[in-house]
Chains A and B, each alone.
Chain A
Amino acid sequence: MKLLDMTRKYGNATYNYPFEPYKVPEGFRGKPAYDYEKCIGCTACAVACPSNAINVKLNEDKSKLVWEFNCARCIFCGRCDEVCPTNAVLLSDEFEMAVRFDKDNLKERGELDVECCQKCKNPFTTSKLISYDIERLKKAGWDEATLAEKTKYIRTCPECKKNIAVENSTQYFVRKRK
């Protein structure tokens, strides 16, 4: 039997895992690793996630924005990694993910402070996202006056921005009619 000769030729083929670590190649798509320090709560990952494994929601009293990752639902596509502007979510080499009895062990949460709109006082984004925006604007080479103007704009929620824009344009129409 040629097959038996082959067995002798190739000998032991088994990987020694788990007695020795198994080395994955570069670029392996393992468990997404979350860096809380870098996360600004922009929700890009939650929007991109095809399986809704990442959810970002306000907590009950609307004081914190909660980033939650459920590894049980993750499909390891790396969309979160791709869209994250600050590299807070990166796919790691981690593949030993099984848990016993308690499914909550698959979860990871991060709480971020919420910022309220200057105008309507409703929460609309995180404080960290705003400091990130301001920091970036500073590095974009704007002068002080423009920077102040833009900072004010950043601290207003999209709803109020819309209302202001509508008000401005209708004012213009009214004036024109006169």
Chain B
Amino acid sequence: MKKGDNFINKVKEKITVHDIERQTEDQVTITVDRNDLPEAVRMLYYDMGGWLSNMIPNDERQLNGNFALYYVISMEGGKMTPEDELPQEQKCWITVKTYIPANDPTFPSVTCKVPAAVWYEREAFDMFGLKAVGLPDPRRLVLSDDWPEGLHPLRKDAMDYRHRPDAVDHQDEPDYKFLEPSGSGVVDVPLGPLHITSDEPGHFRLYCDGDTIIDADFRLFYQHRGMEKLAENRMNYDQMGYLAERVCGICGYAHAIACIEAAERAVGIEVPLRAQAMRVICLEIERLHSHLLNIGLACEVTGNINAFMHIFRIREFTMELAQLVTGGRKTYGNVVMGGLRRDMSSAEIKKSLDLLVTIEQQLIEVWDAVMDDKAQVGRWKGVGILDRQVARDFSPVGPNVRGSGFARDSRHDHPYDFIDQLEFNVAVENGCDVYSRENVRYKELLESISIIRQCFEMMPGGQTIIKPQTMIKPGAFAIGNDEAPRGENVHWIMHGNAQKVYRWRCRAATYNNWSSLRYQFRGNTIADAALIVCSLDPCYSCTERVTVVDINSQKSKVLTHKDLKRYSQTLKNHPLKNM
């Protein structure tokens, strides 16, 4: 019996499974009827301990005349209790696939049974015009507000990848419809889309009663750049790694690896051991600088600039480390199919080991000092609670879910590359709050340093890249995964003709974390909003402009980011005081 067969047999008891297709040892795809889809996903998710990792709509009309949907479920156990985890040899990916006829592009929504699917299904409509019937929240998600209705960019026949519809006059920017809680006296607090501290744009609406947030909604995808379409049309496999690396400026390398590994797995390429070890090293270096960034920011938004500066000083050492072994601080530019295109010399390894000692020493020192600060710890404790049941429903990933006591880590559940030869612990905390999440990050920093050391010590010899040869099989597809600093990145690639992908689906870690954010906001104060967003470590945290509407006085006021930030940092002079 192969991996995953036990789950598929259980599904078969209730549902007709038309086809079973195995991509790799631990990746299986089952095809079910359109109407059986929600039940099949629900059974795998709740009854057998699965988590929704990705959902891929695909325009396969050129291949078989239909659209297709792939729900990727990571089978690893519910993890609500320590015993509730599948044994290591049973963990696998099961993909539920269904066809949607081209003349009737609708499917029953899975969201009603598995809430984690909500964003995926909204995106399926935006990009492909596939309508999820019964989807509770069918608003636009990905495309810009001025994008014409009915033009679905990822349909193969929709448009050229360079097509740019005219923008409307900037005075008449279209509005986005936010979900508003009913009831009198709700305060509406928009944050964003531009703000000063860091990162990317996004727009938040916080609904408050006095100082307390009772609900929230957000409009993201200010950065939708159309990469998936770009990759299908302009990029060949040698170039894709660099595009994937630019999905995100902080954890870009994790995307590049996930993307290239998906392509490699689809055709069964074995990567040389030395390249595997170096991929792991670069991924962990990325985790080092990303976690340091996040811990630094979590100090900064609560006003602890001193700690922030120290942490960023240490972070510069990790950047130097990256620059040393890859030639670039942020974009490592060494991923290609079949290995890596840049080796590490022994001289570099020696210098890196020295740098690691410095980083480790100073990191322990600064963390000790931060923990010593009662005011700082006080601002983190009990804030932004991620309830365990909410976490189970929405499949969040990374330190966000590990701070709520779930040992979900892609390195542990679905080991990739060199990882299964290394020793490391999955950092888990049970507080469910910001404090726990930052603690998880600190523990992971130390683990990362140890992983990098182990890799350097065990560094295998031999090739860094295999012989170039034609190896693409059109139509073959597979999942590529890795643990980015923010959680698991899951990419899905279907090979096409002429050295190009037929479909590339890139699911970033933060994508899974957003849906639960709304619940994390509830019950906290406006002052903590920035901190909560920051503790998720989204690829951005966004608080430029805040309109506060008080329910009781029915007045509205626009706050600048500065006001909000000042208030977050000092907790003095409440911005609503004079209303």
Contacts and interface: CB of A to CB of B under 8 A. Distances in A.
Q: Do chains A and B touch in the complex (CB under 8 A)?
A: yes
A4 interface: yes
A4 B242 CA distance: 42
B353 to A, nearest CB: 15
Contact of B327 (A1, A78, A79): A78
Nearest to B242: A50
B313 A50 contact: no
Main SS at interface, chain B:
helix
B246 A6 contact: no
A124 interface: no
Contacts of A48: 238-239
B307 interface: yes
A106 interface: no
Given A3-B310, A50-B235, A75-B242, A29 B341 contact: no
B313 A13 contact: yes
A82 B333 CA distance: 12
Contact of A25 (B238, B242, B246, B324): B324
B373 interface: yes
B242 A77 contact: yes
A16 interface: no
Interface string A82-95: 10000000010000
B208 to A, nearest CB: 33
B242 A6 contact: no
B331 A75 contact: yes
Q: Which 5 A-B pairs have the closest CB atoms?
A: A2-B369, A50-B239, A29-B327, A77-B333, A50-B242
A151 B246 CA distance: 44
B32 interface: no
Interface residues of B, number: 26
A27 interface: yes
Contacts of B173: none
Interface string A54-84: 0000000000000000000001111100100
Given A28-B323, A79-B238, A3 B333 contact: no
B365 interface: yes
A6 B366 contact: yes
A29 B313 CA distance: 23
A168 interface: no
Contacts of A7: 306, 310
Contact of B365 (A6, A50, A91): A6
A24 interface: yes
B331 A3 contact: no
22 contacts: A2-B369, A2-B372, A3-B306, A3-B307, A3-B370, A3-B373, A10-B313, A10-B362, A25-B324, A27-B327, A27-B342, A28-B323, A48-B239, A50-B238, A50-B239, A50-B243, A75-B331, A75-B333, A76-B331, A77-B333, A78-B327, A79-B242
Given A3-B369, A79-B238, 19 more contacts: A2-B368, A2-B369, A3-B307, A3-B370, A3-B373, A4-B306, A6-B310, A25-B327, A27-B327, A28-B328, A29-B327, A48-B238, A48-B239, A75-B242, A78-B327, A79-B239, A79-B242, A82-B341, A91-B327
Nearest to B333: A77
A78 B245 CA distance: 14
Contacts of B235: 50
Contacts of B307: 3
Nearest to A49: B239
A75 B372 CA distance: 43
Contacts of A76: 328, 331, 333
A29 B333 contact: yes
Given A6-B310, A48-B238, A50-B239, A78 B372 contact: no
B369 A6 contact: yes
Given A1-B373, A27-B327, A75 B306 contact: no
Interface of A: 1-7, 10, 13, 24-25, 27-29, 48, 50-51, 75-79, 82, 91
B373 A29 contact: no
Contacts of A25: 323-324, 327
A7 B305 CA distance: 12
A79 B372 CA distance: 48
Contacts of A10: 313, 362
Contacts of A1: 306, 369, 373
A108 B325 CA distance: 29
Nearest to A14: B313
A51 to B, nearest CB: 8
Contacts of B331: 75-77
A54 to B, nearest CB: 13
Interface string B329-344: 0010100000001100
Contacts of B313: 10, 13
A25 B344 CA distance: 13
B372 to A, nearest CB: 5
Nearest to B341: A82
Contacts of A6: 310, 365-366, 369
B323 A24 contact: yes
Contacts of A29: 327-328, 333
B152 to A, nearest CB: 26
A6 B373 CA distance: 14
Interface string B218-241: 000000000000000001001100
Interface in B336-372: 341-342, 362, 365-366, 368-370, 372
A28 B333 contact: no
Contact of A75 (B246, B323, B324, B341): B246
A4 to B, nearest CB: 7
Contacts of A79: 238-239, 242
Contacts of B341: 82
A3 B314 CA distance: 13
A6 B327 CA distance: 30
